[in-house]
Structure 1
Amino acid sequence: MPAERNVVTYNAMLSGYVQCGRLKEAMALFREMPERNVISWTSMLSGLADAGRIDEAKLLFVNMPEKNVVSWNAMVVGLIRNADLENARLVFDKMPVKNVASWNAMIAGYADIGRIEEARTLFDMMPDPNALTWTSMVSGYCRVGEVAEGYNMFQRIRDRNVISWTSMISGFTWNGFYEEALLLFLEMNRTSGVAPNCETLISLAYACAGLRFSELGRQVHAQMLIQAMQCDDYDGRIAKSLIYMYSSFGTMPSAQYLFDNFSDDSVLQSRNCLINGYVRVGDLEKARILFDAAPSRDKITWTSIISGYFSVGLVLQACHLFHDMPFKDAIAWTTMITGHIQNEHFYEAMHFFLEMRTFGVIPLSTTYTVLFGAVGAMAYLDHGRSLHGMIIKTQPGFDLILENSVVSMYAKCGELRDACKIFLRMTSRDDISWNSMIMGFAHHGLANEALQVFEAMMESRTRPNSLTFLAVLSACSHAGLLDKGLELFTLMTDVHGIQPGLEHCISVVNILGRAGKLEEAEKFIAGLPFHRHPAMLGAILGVSGPDKRSLGIAERSGKLLLELDPMNAAAHVHLCNLYASNHHHLKEYKLRREMLVKGVKKVPGCSWIVLSGKVHMFLCGDSLNPEAEELLISMSNSCCG
């Protein structure tokens, strides 16, 4: 004789249907139930909401004869899951009684979509937040990039569990604070005794990739294998993280093995990581095989392979791929512009920029930044002014990166007054802003102005970096400021702890040499790890004067330089000139004869100008350019008004 059904058995069956997603059967059973209680109504409500049938769920909620806190929570959660946060808040506010789950649902709803201020307001109103509440706030702050505030919240959690720790580790990782993520993981292991879960290990894999910590990355992979039973990779996220990690290391056999054996072939992210990895190690053939075999491609797939062709100088192939690309957004156009600039095809880059505008694609801030960098490097001031004017008309506002690129462009083009105007109007400045101005003044021989900007930088408490000191040392070198230059070098190494690079040391050699202190320069070089570097030897040779006292030092450095670089024309010519100045004509003759035998030729100096949008180049002593006289007249007229 079958057991008699009651509300408990009906509810069990109803719950089973709902959990299996069989809503048609669930609704039929719900309607035929002779008796329903609050559990029946709540179970059906949750099923409808989870299936996206939120209007039916709301109607059911309104018709519920009896509601408890679980029913109210189910309605709030259902609305949040269906992206109806405003109505969720209305229901939340009407709740006669709220428990911890009510508060957590609403706070997490706001935090998960980046509405952190509203989440914080509710958090501050909540009577007794638990670890889950705190963790939601940590995740929310990290999601909107406020990592410091997220960490502040994390430190206030009393009973941290693996979810709390992982939330903060992930927050550090996704915001690029890879070292902090790894250090926090070490703290978690050392002080809490909490074991990592799969989410923790995924975040650590990305952190290792960001830092290129290959050995630690392999240990993370090993830990994933140890925890294989707990880490069921049902959604492929573990495989994706490892493929990304090994591709970042350039360990392509491991990445390929994971892709072939553990990754769904249709997952674009994994394929894109692999393509990027092969591009990074220069194996374009395998990257192209993956690209051609892709069952579907997104814009990342296309831009990755296009960037790969540009990186090895295959500009035409990159252009063909771009032509075949079915959807060309601002990122794709910017990739083409960047690729042409990297290959020194400046006019083609400008052509693509103009074509981009013709097609109605709005340039990104990055697009302009790349173009300003090229304009500055080529000193194409007219193009720079046109781009600047275009931005003023079309861009609603300048971000810091874009402002820095404009300042740098004007400074490199020698328009220091315009660079200063923009620099002074900037509401915020970083080290790049200051460096652009310092380098601009230094490059154009205005040492005092460069040093004044450096002092202002120090007063603003902006930390100088290696490039800052390279700029001020270069300024001191050109201006012959011996004491100031040596003072700045000491400040860099002893106070700011910046390891001097080759170019810093070359600047010091130039400072000493131009002050007539060649012996000190030679001693300085002798104590350096790169004392035999051709550039260093060339520097001391270059500052050696024609006097007899300098000849010995010049001869030693010159001969060593020619041993390292036998075809160095500048070293041959400079030594020949020194021998001639000191009447060592036999040595001069032998060296010139050696140049002839080896086929060493001095590259003639050249200069170029841009006039009426056209580039004109002149070689030293060149009288063959038929336009020379006409150009001189044109330049004279433009200069004189």
Structure 2
Amino acid sequence: MAQDELVRLGEQMVHTVEGTRAIALELCREFEEKFLQHIATDELVSNLIVGFHHIVLHVKTGCLASIGNKFGTVSERGLVELTTLIYGANHTAMHNENHQVFPLLCQSDAFSNRRIIFLVCRALQELETTSLSAHIHILVWKYHQQKNVTVGISLDHMGGRFGGMPDDACLRFRLANALNLISWNSMISVYSQCGDALSAFDVFRRMHIEGIGFDFGPNEYTFGSLITATYNSSSTGLCLLEQILSQILKLGFLSDLYVGSALVSGFARFGLLDIAKSIFREMKERNTVSMNGLMVGFVKQKRGVEAVEIFMEARHLVGVTSDSFVVLLSAFPEFESLDEGVKMGREVHAFVLRNGLGDMKIAIQNGLINMYAKCGAVDDARVIFSLMDAKDLVSWNSIISGLDQNGCFGETLMNYQRMRRSGFMPSKFAIISMLSSCSSLKMIHLGSQVHCEGTKLGLDLDVSVSNSLLVLYAESGRLTDSLKVFDLMTKYDIISWNSIIGLLAGSEELPSKSIEYFLKMMQDGWSLNRVTFVNVLSALSSLSILELGHQTHALMLKYSVADDIAAENALLSLYGKCGEMDDCEKIFSKMIARRDAISWNSMIAGYIHSGSFSKAMDMIWFMMQNEQTMDCFTFATVLSACASIATLERGMETHARAIRARLESDVVVGSTLVDMYSKCGRADYANRVFELMPLRNEFTWNSMISGYARHGLGEKALELFMKMRKEGPSPDCVTFVGVLSACSHVGLVKQGLECFESMSKTYGLVPRLEHFSCMVDLLGRAGDLDKVEEFIKSMPMKPNVLMWRTVLGACTRAGGQNTELGKQAAQMLMELEPQNAVNHVLISNFYASGARWVDVAKARTIMKEATVKKEAGCSWVTMKDGVHVFVAGDKSHPDADRIYAKLQELSRKMKEMGYVPLTKYALYDLEVENKEELLSYHSEKLAVAFVILRTSSLPIRIMKNLRVCGDCHSAFGYISKIVGRQIILRDSNRFHHFSDGRCSCGDYW
């Protein structure tokens, strides 16, 4: 019907009888504003009936803001208008408008009318204003209405809304004139609203006892309130629900629509979906509430397909509402195949559009945004959101959460700002998504601001928000702030405990703290789940605490989670790192049907850690032969092992297998290959892999930079660092360790200082102990002992043993200069590690460099008298027939006689070329001849002699677990010239490439 025709119809109706005019006002909703403007000038507006319908029309259209003036024109400010106005505020979600109405009521005798009291109580339930509530109580008592059952019930429900007035309700209950079913049901309903299930059931028990004398029993409303009371009682709710089910069956209320629907929702909430489904199908009559409740239960249990089946089964039997479509849409992200889920979601979307529901119901539009986002179709979610004419808070929450879940963190931040500019206050869901995005973007300062905003709104008290704060601060390296957040939380859930335990377990600084929180969690009576055990096993694994690991394993058996695949994998990791491969093999043998890639990787890592490299390779071969899935982490584990013991041949073999598995281009495998080749002495191979990688992450860049540093290629390391700043990810703390080490190895003091300063100024990184150690080493090698002293004094942490050794070495190289700093370093080494022989030798050498022979003698005497520990130095080489290991003076090798004979031959030739043994590196105060003999049999010299015995022209590769001594370093230069072969020596600090008598380090090491 055209708009003009409707206006003409309205003009005709104005002159009809008053009743017809009133009806017309209710019917013509589409053009209500024109009618309101027209009749406002008509004298009949003063008529009570027309005035009433005038207010009704404003109420139904939500135009309450303009009622004030119209209300004043009604000649009789009667109860009808007052009641209608309160009703309108209640039903248009404009509850604050009632603040303007209550003063009018208080000035009149309105509270002598029970209908007014009922509506006022309804309004106050929505306003949640305790002060007004107390005022209404006083007025009710003033007019002696408190004894009326209906009034008492209304006050009960109003009090129940605030969750703290059951005692007042009990008082009215005793004062009531007649104890009837309505008053009993009211009391049960009040406790149900307060979430006090036990008290609600206690009232029901009293009702059952006292009701016998009054000849009445429970009805459907009684059972409905009792069932609802169990919903929020996690500890006793299910038990009470099962108890009330027996009463319902006994009294025959199961067929009641209201009771049946409540039962379906109740059992679905507790995850007993088979019972809920059975009740639903036995109901003679079903409604939307029961169908939606059952669907929600299936969705919460991640059984989306079954939720859709319920909808398809019942949609013709019940009236499908917009809420039904919202629940249906939430089921699609729970499909096993998200592609199938989004496909069905689009079909429902098309149905909604064909029937015009999408334009009419904002809830459905919000449901579509949520569905598309959770299914990964974030572009569709964006389109729907952008086309919405009106957006509510749920709309903003849905798009913000969806963007965060899909990794669109920047858009999450922008939409949050748009929401705030649109006048919406953030909810806990928006705050959680913002904290998640800030954490992912490493924007800790913005995350702290969001934390402050949440605190102002009182949202930080929400347990889910607090859990997000734990993750934000922990992943930003601020574990102490995470601990503060946890300790200040007023309420915890299982996620809170698991989060703090997991975050501490994964930290480098405080893994032992996670065990403390695990024990506290048990003491506080929390039930442990598989996530709890996996987290604490991770901490025990990193700390290699076997005994507590056995106890935790026993607890897992008690809680029936030992057969969970994640828990079993965590046990494999723990026992593997503790060297208990027998326990690993027992667990692994029981997992035949459940083994996954993590299980295999844990076993391989365990064998490697325990030194059974051949078993690890056999397991890889077995996996390949039996077509077991070998993922990127399998290869990364093996390649890391090859890197740690520098077995280039095995590393290249694993590389070939990765190529056959088509995983060479994977970023994890590629990054580990870069690390392996650089640690095995092939920086050229590492660079080739690096350049061919289609995708690089922080580990890739850091591995290549550290590789260059390890090989003494400082200039290349700095070039790559500059390239990383332009093309790669933002440098992190590990990056700067590599860069500063590179500067230290080649003496780039100026560049090193600039990089160190840029850590905090440019990248906001806090220098750690290892960064200060690099700087002390850099300045010490450059001979700037004053700067070294300044750095040590400016450090926010105490120097460790390695740093004091570096300082003492720098003082020694400076010829005993700055004796005070050298003395301090010597004193600290004796305090920290008095039993370490290396420290005694360094102290002796320091005094000798300054020709302080009396102090040298004292140091040697102390070393003789003390029971010192010397870490056994060993060197190894990898040949076709395996790995050959040597220790100083060792004669256990099958070719020992030939090796020692070759060493004597090499020693004679070196002396002919001018070689003089550096006897100061001998550990004991012996005669010069004996010192020379000891030096000639160092492990690296035995290794090089063994390789030379094998006829080959390939470079000689030797690995050592300690730093090479100065005498061996000098000797290797001579040997490389004698045999005409390149010698590549890797010690604990760096690589030395000897060729034609010279080392790549330029003797700057």
Tell me the TM-score normalized by structure 1.
0.78
Q: Does 1:24 align with 2:263?
A: no
**CA shift in 2, pair 1:177/1:581, >3 Å:** closer
Q: Does 1:318 align with 2:584?
A: yes
Q: Does 1:408 align with 2:668?
A: no
**CA shift in 2, pair 1:393/1:45, >3 Å:** same
Which of the pair has the greater relative contact order for Cα pairs under 8 Å at 6+ separation? Answer: 1
In structure 1, the partner of 2:809 is 542
**CA shift in 2, pair 1:418/1:264, >3 Å:** same
User: What RMSD, in angstroms, separates the aligned Cα atoms of the two structures?
Assistant: 4.2
Identity percentage over the alignment?
25
**CA shift in 2, pair 1:194/1:589, >3 Å:** closer
User: What secondary structure sits across from 1:618 in the alignment?
Assistant: strand
Q: Does 1:383 align with 2:650?
A: yes
Shift of 1:302: 1.3
Letter of the 2:711 partner, please give it.
Answer: H
**CA shift in 2, pair 1:473/1:163, >3 Å:** closer
Among 200, 206, 215, the alignment partner of 2:484 is 215
Q: Does 1:337 align with 2:337?
A: no
User: What secondary structure sits across from 1:451 in the alignment?
Assistant: helix
Among 60, 71, 87, the alignment partner of 2:347 is 87
Q: Decide whether the 8 Å contact of 1:248 with 1:277 is kept in 2.
A: no
Letter of the 2:950 partner, please give it.
Answer: S
In structure 2, the partner of 1:597 is 865
Letter of the 1:543 partner, please give it.
Answer: A
In structure 2, the partner of 1:132 is 394
**CA shift in 2, pair 1:460/1:316, >3 Å:** same
Number of residues of Structure 1 aligned to a counterpart in Structure 2:
599
For 1:591 and 1:316, locate their aligned partners in 2 and report how far apart those are by CA, in whole Å. Answer: 47
Letter of the 2:952 partner, please give it.
Answer: S
Q: Decide whether the 8 Å contact of 1:244 with 1:274 is kept in 2.
A: no
**CA shift in 2, pair 1:49/1:419, >3 Å:** same
In structure 1, the partner of 2:384 is 122
**CA shift in 2, pair 1:494/1:166, >3 Å:** closer
User: What secondary structure sits across from 1:20 in the alignment?
Assistant: helix
1:59-109: per-residue Cα shift (whole Å, max 9, x none)?
775799xx9xx5577367547636542432332232144322332232222
For 1:484 and 1:546, locate their aligned partners in 2 and report how far apart those are by CA, in whole Å. Answer: 22
In structure 1, the partner of 2:571 is 305
Q: Does 1:108 align with 2:367?
A: no
* Structure 1 runs not aligned, ≥5 long: 1-11, 31-39, 225-237
In structure 2, the partner of 1:354 is 621
Shift of 1:533: 4.1
Letter of the 2:281 partner, please give it.
Answer: K
Shift of 1:399: 4.1
Structural mapping, 1:205-244, within 5 Å: 211=479, 213-220=482-489, 222-223=490-491, 238-242=493-497, 244=499
For 1:538 and 1:129, locate their aligned partners in 2 and report how far apart those are by CA, in whole Å. Answer: 66
User: What secondary structure sits across from 2:883 in the alignment?
Assistant: strand
Q: Decide whether the 8 Å contact of 1:85 with 1:109 is kept in 2.
A: yes
Q: Decide whether the 8 Å contact of 1:309 with 1:315 is kept in 2.
A: yes
Letter of the 1:239 partner, please give it.
Answer: I
* Structure 2 runs not aligned, ≥5 long: 1-254, 265-278, 299-305, 333-340, 505-512, 903-945, 956-980, 983-1005
1:322-379: per-residue Cα shift (whole Å, max 9, x none)?
3333522111122223344455554444344334444433123222223322222222
Shift of 1:611: 0.5
Shift of 1:398: 3.6
Structural mapping, 1:10-89, within 5 Å: 14=257, 16-21=259-264, 22-26=279-283, 28-29=284-285, 52=306, 58=312, 71=321, 74=324, 77-78=327-328, 81=331, 83=341, 84-89=344-349
Q: Does 1:573 align with 2:851?
A: no
Among 409, 412, 425, the alignment partner of 1:147 is 409
Q: Does 1:618 align with 2:868?
A: no
Q: Decide whether the 8 Å contact of 1:276 with 1:287 is kept in 2.
A: no
Structural mapping, 1:135-284, within 5 Å: 135-157=397-419, 158=422, 159-160=424-425, 162-165=427-430, 167-168=432-433, 171-172=436-437, 183-190=449-456, 192=457, 197=462, 199-201=464-466, 203-204=468-469, 211=479, 213-220=482-489, 222-223=490-491, 238-242=493-497, 244-245=499-500, 250=513, 255=518, 263=526, 267-273=529-535, 282=545, 283-284=548-549
For 1:420 and 1:516, locate their aligned partners in 2 and report how far apart those are by CA, in whole Å. Answer: 33
Tell which deviates more after alignment, 444-453 or 425-434: 425-434
Q: Decide whether the 8 Å contact of 2:809 with 2:846 is kept in 1.
A: no
Q: Decide whether the 8 Å contact of 2:373 with 2:406 is kept in 1.
A: no
Shift of 1:419: 1.8
For 2:434 and 2:415, locate their aligned partners in 1 and report how far apart those are by CA, in whole Å. Answer: 13
Shift of 1:117: 1.9
Among 293, 308, 318, the alignment partner of 2:558 is 293
Q: Decide whether the 8 Å contact of 2:804 with 2:829 is kept in 1.
A: no
1:476-513: per-residue Cα shift (whole Å, max 9, x none)?
33323344444444444655555444444444444444
For 2:815 and 2:758, locate their aligned partners in 1 and report how far apart those are by CA, in whole Å. Answer: 34
Letter of the 1:607 partner, please give it.
Answer: S
For 2:430 and 2:329, locate their aligned partners in 1 and report how far apart those are by CA, in whole Å. Answer: 29
For 1:478 and 1:295, locate their aligned partners in 2 and report how far apart those are by CA, in whole Å. Answer: 55
**CA shift in 2, pair 1:361/1:545, >3 Å:** same
Tell me the TM-score normalized by structure 2.
0.52
Q: Decide whether the 8 Å contact of 1:337 with 1:352 is kept in 2.
A: yes
Shift of 1:610: 0.4
For 1:542 and 1:637, locate their aligned partners in 2 and report how far apart those are by CA, in whole Å. Answer: 37
Q: Decide whether the 8 Å contact of 1:512 with 1:518 is kept in 2.
A: yes
Letter of the 1:456 partner, please give it.
Answer: K
**CA shift in 2, pair 1:355/1:261, >3 Å:** farther
Letter of the 2:496 partner, please give it.
Answer: S
For 1:574 and 1:278, locate their aligned partners in 2 and report how far apart those are by CA, in whole Å. Answer: 36
- Structure (1 or 2) with the larger CA radius of gyration: 2
For 2:285 and 2:825, locate their aligned partners in 1 and report how far apart those are by CA, in whole Å. Answer: 96
**CA shift in 2, pair 1:311/1:486, >3 Å:** same
Q: Decide whether the 8 Å contact of 2:432 with 2:468 is kept in 1.
A: no
In structure 2, the partner of 1:423 is 690
